[in-house]
Amino acid sequence: MRRDARLLGSLAALVAALALASLLTGPADAGLRAGIEALWTGEGPLGIVLREIRAPRTVLAIMVGASLGLSGAALQGYLRNPLAEPGLIGISASAALGAVVAIQAGVSALALGVPFAALGGALGGVALILGLAGRRAGGLGLILGGIAVSALAGALTALVLNLSPNPFAAYDIMFWTMGSLADRSWGHVLTAAPLMLAGWVALARAGRDLDALSLGEEAAASMGVNLARLRLLVVLGAAAAVGAATAVAGAIGFVGLVVPHLLRGAVGAMPSRLLPAAALGGAALVLAADVAVRLILPERDLKLGVMMALVGAPVFLHLIWRTQAGR
Amino acid sequence: MVSLRALAVLALAAGLAAPAGAEPPKRVVSMNLCTDQLAMALAAPGQLVSVSYLALDPRSSAMVEEAMAYPTNRGRAEEIYLLKPDLVLAGSFGGPAVAMLHRLGVPVVEVAPPTSLAEARDAIAQVGAALGRSETAEAMIADFDREVARLARPAGPDAPTAATWGANGYSIAGDTLAGDILRRAGFALVTDRLGMETSGYVPLEVLVMAQPDLIVTGSPYPGASRAEEVLDHPALERLEGHVLRVPDALWTCALPRSLEALAMLSAEAEALR
Q: Taking chain A, what is the end-to-end CA distance rounded to the nearest angstrom?
A: 33
CB contacts of B201 in chain A (<8 Å) are 299-300
Architecture per CATH, B161-272: 3-Layer(aba) Sandwich (3.40)
Residue in A closest to B233 by C-alpha: A185
Query: What confidence tier does A185 reach under pLDDT thresholds 50, 70, 90?
Result: very high
Taking residues A232-246, report their average pLDDT.
94
The pair phi, psi for residue B187, each rounded to 5°, is -100, 150
The pair phi, psi for residue B40, each rounded to 5°, is -60, -35
Instruction: Give me the residues of B, 79-138, that contact A with CB < 8 A.
Output: none
Residue in B closest to A297 by C-alpha: B203
Q: Provide the shortest C-alpha distance from residue A192 to chain B (in Å).
A: 16
Q: What is the pLDDT of residue B4?
A: 43
Q: What is the pLDDT of residue B31?
A: 94
- Digit-coded pLDDT (tens) for A22-32: 999 988 877 88
Which residues of chain B, if any, have pLDDT below 70?
A: 1-22
A267 SS3 class: helix
CB contacts of B225 in chain A (<8 Å) are 164, 166, 168-169, 171-172
Instruction: Give me the residues of B, 159-198, that contact A with CB < 8 A.
Output: 167-169
CB contact, 8 Å: B203 with chain A?
yes
Q: What is the pLDDT of residue B14?
A: 40
Contact A49 B205 (CB under 8 A): yes
More confident residue, B13 or A260: A260
Q: What is the pLDDT of residue A138?
A: 64
More confident residue, B94 or A249: A249
Q: What is the pLDDT of residue B3?
A: 46
Q: What is the pLDDT of residue B16?
A: 43
Q: What is the pLDDT of residue B222?
A: 82
- Of A128-137, A165-174, A259-268, least confident by mean pLDDT is A128-137
Identity of the residue in B208, B225, B235 whose CB atom sits nearest the CB atom of A168: B225
Q: What is the pLDDT of residue A322?
A: 79
Residue A290: pLDDT above 60?
yes
The answer to whether A170 touches A110, Cβ cutoff 8 Å, is no
Would you identify the CATH topology of the domain A60-326? Answer: ABC transporter involved in vitamin B12 uptake, BtuC (1.10.3470)
Architecture per CATH, B23-149: 3-Layer(aba) Sandwich (3.40)
CB contact, 8 Å: A37 with chain B?
no
Identity of the residue in A45, A46, A164 whose CB atom sits nearest the CB atom of B223: A164
Where are chain A's structural domains?
60-326
> Any long-range contacts for B178-182 (C-beta under 8 Å, 24+ apart)?
B178/B216, B178/B251, B178/B261, B180/B115, B180/B116, B180/B117, B180/B118, B181/B117, B181/B251, B181/B258, B181/B261, B181/B262, B181/B265, B182/B216, B182/B265
Identity of the residue in A45, A104, A168 whose CB atom sits nearest the CB atom of B208: A45
Identity of the residue in A109, A172, A183 whose CB atom sits nearest the CB atom of B204: A183
Instruction: Tell me whether the CATH fold assigned to B23-149 matches the one assigned to B161-272.
Output: yes
Where are chain B's structural domains?
23-149, 161-272
Q: Provide the shortest C-alpha distance from residue B166 to chain A (in Å).
A: 11
Q: What is the pLDDT of residue B12?
A: 41
Q: What is the pLDDT of residue A269?
A: 74
Which residue type occupies A171?
Y
Residues 6+ apart with CB under 8 A from A255: A65, A68, A69, A72, A85, A87, A282, A285, A286, A308, A312
The CA-CA-CA angle for residues A265, A319, A208, to 5°, reads 45
CB contacts of B167 in chain A (<8 Å) are 168, 171
Query: What confidence tier does A200 reach under pLDDT thresholds 50, 70, 90?
Result: very high
- Digit-coded pLDDT (tens) for B172-224: 999 999 999 999 999 999 999 999 989 999 999 999 999 999 999 988 888 88
Q: Taking chain B, what is the end-to-end CA distance rounded to the nearest angstrom?
A: 75
Contact B221 A46 (CB under 8 A): no
Q: Provide the shortest C-alpha distance from residue B197 to chain A (in Å).
A: 16
